[in-house]
Every structure is written in C-alpha cells, then in structure tokens.
Amino acid sequence: MFTFISFASEDDISIWADAVTETEDRGTSVLIIPMSGQTLTDIRSEVYAEIQEDIKTLNPDLIVIEIDCKDAQDIFYQQMGWFNPKEFGRFEGETKNLPAVTKVFRTHLKDIEQIAFVKDSMGSITPLTLSWEKVYMTPDARLTGTLALAARYSGISDENVRGKMRTAWTLLGSILGGYGKRDPDLMLSLVDPEKYLSGTWKGRKVEWFDHLNADFVIDPSNEMVPGFSATQAQELGISEATVDTLNDMLLLNDIREYHIVGEEITKELNDYVYKWRSNLTKAQLLWGDYQQQSGWATGNERKRWLVKNKNTIKSLISICKNYPAVRIRMGFDKQLRGLKNILEEIEKELRKPSGPTRGGGGPSMGGGGGGMRP
C-alpha cells in the first residue's frame, strides 16, 4: 500500500512565520516577478526579455516567480467550475514561447537564486513551472498537465500532424524539465496524454515510469494528463512544501529579514497585462464597428462609412502591431494580411467615382484571413 511521506503541517510553518520581517532596506533583497493569466499573451517571452538587463543591473539576492495561471481567467467560468476556452493557454506558438521565457530566467539570470511560488499552475504553464528546481505551492494551488492540449490531440485524425505536435511538445517537456532536474517520464506525462504515469519510492524520492507496473499509479489513462493538488505535489517531492504566504516560504529558506526591490519592474509587468487586455477590448469594439459600418455603406452614405471603415481598420492594425497578444487572441494572421487586404479593398472602393447605390464597406474576413476569436 502506498503511504505518503509526512511533513510539518502548514500550521507549524505559520506559527513561525512571524519570525520573518519585511524591512525597508535590510536583509535579503527580493524581486517579485508576476506570471499570471494566459500563456503566450499575458506570459510572453518578449516582455520578460525586455527586462532581463534591468534585473541584472538590480542584482537582487532572490527572484520570486509568482505563478497564477489557471488557463481559465473568466470569473463566471471559475464560479461554475468550467473552463473558458478563450483563456486556455495558446499552443500554436508555445513550443517557442515557453523555452524563450525559461531561457531568460534559467540561462541569462542563472546566477541569481530563484524560487517559483505557485498559486495555480494549470495547463501549458506547468512545464515552465517545473523548470525551476525550487517550487512552493499555496494550499489551494493545483499543478496539472496540458488539459486543452489533450483535447486538441483527440480531435486530430491526421497521424502525421498529430505526430509532429507530439514531438514538439515532448521536446519542450524534456528541455524545460532539464532546467529543473525533473524526471523525464514525469515531464512527458504532463505534455503527452498518451503517456501513462506511475511511481516507486526510492528512499525519500519517487522514481517515475511510463507504464502501469510501478508501486502506485497516478495516470492510468492514455487520453488525459495527470494533475496534482498542493498536498500531493509536496508529498511526491514535486514541490518543496505547501505554504500560505511569501513569509512562510522565505522562512523555509532560512530568510528571517528581507526587503522588496525592483517595484518598478514588477509594475511594468503588471502594466503590460493591463494594457494589452484594455487594447483587446478596444480592438473587439473596432472589429464590431467595422462589421456594422460595412452594412451601412450604401447609397448616399456609402463614402462616409467607407472613410470611417478605413480609419477603423487602420486603428485595428495599429493596435495589433503594438500588442501582438491582441492579434493572437483575435485570431488574425501574424503578418496581418487579412486586415491589410480589407484596407486595400476599402481604398480601392474610395478611388472609384461616386455613383448610384452600392453595398459593402469592405470585404469580410473569412477562412485564412483570421476571423475574430476574442
């Protein structure tokens, strides 16, 4: 029978957490790096790459990566216990994005001590989470494999396409797991639903296997991916411990006195998320305006609404160029060819001489043009 290892309870840790003091400028310097929301949009490699030199210059004693990625940010869906597909981690670009994020912290900033503080790690963020050797989780945190990717696999009938997708994600799991010195079979099970996962205790550590013949089985299905509660992750040695607060975590790392540094860096990252999501709302409204105005561009009002549509599409292109996350969420192609084609067609219509009633303020974007998926 499988028996979990016993650790000090959360209450035991909290009793001593008062021994940790945040000061103005004494003790360990701690930089907080937020990673919250959706991978590839909120958690985007270019954003972290832009601040890596600032972090090097700051040179904190410790970087705390605060991870809160549910792959389901919509409050209604959370309350109902559902997932919001619009907030699932994106997969098309993740085999480049996640390793690039990892490279910033685990290669360029490797000389600075780092800890992952997990409030939730669900879906495509999890391979990134486990690229850190030291992982602490809050009591309600979850650590799950790529849930939406499992669903994506099941919907692919082309074996060649499916095979290429599996190969890419298998490689990603191997690379990221290597940074965190994670067991390859554990990492593969989190990114490949066709893998099994079982384990055997070797002293205080678990040896993981891609079969069902070990001492205990975690994932007996070849169609899903495993998930761990904070307690399970701790008892299986995936996380260091379960903690309520930052102070609890610092105490377990023998830090009794600390001060927060780099608040401007933390703010810059939070501001990025706010700005791109605000611009997503603007872009969605602009796209709605374009579609509505296209229907109004007839008769004597034709030129007026064509001009408005021209300005609307220009504004939409500008937002998408400034915030690639908006383009990704709205489903437009990388080069914005679909939007540029619409703009060209509108300008062509405006160059035509005025005449009797005409319809259409520009072509609709269908097929490969990138219809909106807000």
In a domain, 374, yes or no: no
* Domain C-terminal end among 233, 261, 289: 261
In a domain, 4, yes or no: no
Shared-domain flag, residues 257 and 275 = no
Range of the domain at 306: 271-369
Shared-domain flag, residues 240 and 278 = no
Full 3-state SS string of 205-259 = EEEEECCCCCCEEEECCCCCCCEEEHHHHHHCCCCCEECCCHHHHHHHCCCCEEE
Q: How far apart are CA 150 and CA 190, in angstroms?
A: 10
Mean pLDDT of 143-169: 74
Are the CB atoms for 69 and 36 separated by under 8 Å?
yes
Whether the predicted pLDDT of 369 surpasses 50: no
Q: What is the CATH number of the domain that holds 183?
A: 3.90.226.10
Residue type, 264: E
- Give the count of domains, the chain: 2
In a domain, 208, yes or no: yes
For Cα atoms 173, 179, 181, give the angle at the middle one, nearest 5 degrees. Answer: 90
DSSP structure class, residue 43: B
The pLDDT tens digits of the residues spanning 168-189 come to 888 889 999 999 999 999 999 9
The pLDDT tens digits of the residues spanning 192-249 come to 888 999 999 999 999 999 999 999 999 998 888 899 999 999 999 999 999 999 999 9
pLDDT of res. 15? 56
In a domain, 3, yes or no: no
In a domain, 243, yes or no: yes
Shared-domain flag, residues 256 and 335 = no
Nearest alpha carbon to residue 294 among 354, 345, 363: 363
Shared-domain flag, residues 253 and 195 = yes
Shared-domain flag, residues 144 and 196 = yes
Shared-domain flag, residues 234 and 278 = no
The pLDDT tens digits of the residues spanning 40-80 come to 999 999 999 999 999 999 999 999 999 999 764 444 444 44
Shared-domain flag, residues 143 and 61 = yes
In a domain, 1, yes or no: no
Shared-domain flag, residues 291 and 252 = no
* Domain C-terminal end among 237, 261, 285: 261
Shared-domain flag, residues 245 and 290 = no
DSSP structure class, residue 90: P
Q: How far apart are CA 234 and CA 145, in angstroms?
A: 16
Residue type, 301: E
Contacts of 9 (CB under 8 A, 6+ apart): none
- Exposure string (b/e) for 272-307, b if CB count within 10 Å is 16 or more? bbeebbebbeebbebbebbbebbebbeeeebeebbe
Which H helix or E strand runs over 122?
strand 113-122
Average pLDDT, the chain: 86
Mean pLDDT of 279-295: 96
- Check the CA dihedral 328-322-131-228 and report its sign: negative
Are the CB atoms for 89 and 146 separated by under 8 Å?
yes
In a domain, 252, yes or no: yes
Mean pLDDT of 284-295: 95
Shared-domain flag, residues 229 and 254 = yes
Contacts of 227 (CB under 8 A, 6+ apart): 122, 142, 143, 144, 145
pTM: 0.84
Are the CB atoms for 265 and 37 separated by under 8 Å?
no
In a domain, 100, yes or no: yes
Shared-domain flag, residues 222 and 285 = no
Are the CB atoms for 40 and 328 separated by under 8 Å?
yes
Shared-domain flag, residues 248 and 307 = no
pLDDT of res. 93? 61
Q: To the nearest 10°, report the CA torsion of 50, 239, 37, 226.
A: 130
Q: How far apart are CA 144 and CA 225, in angstroms?
A: 7
* Domain C-terminal end among 218, 233, 261: 261
pLDDT of res. 215? 95
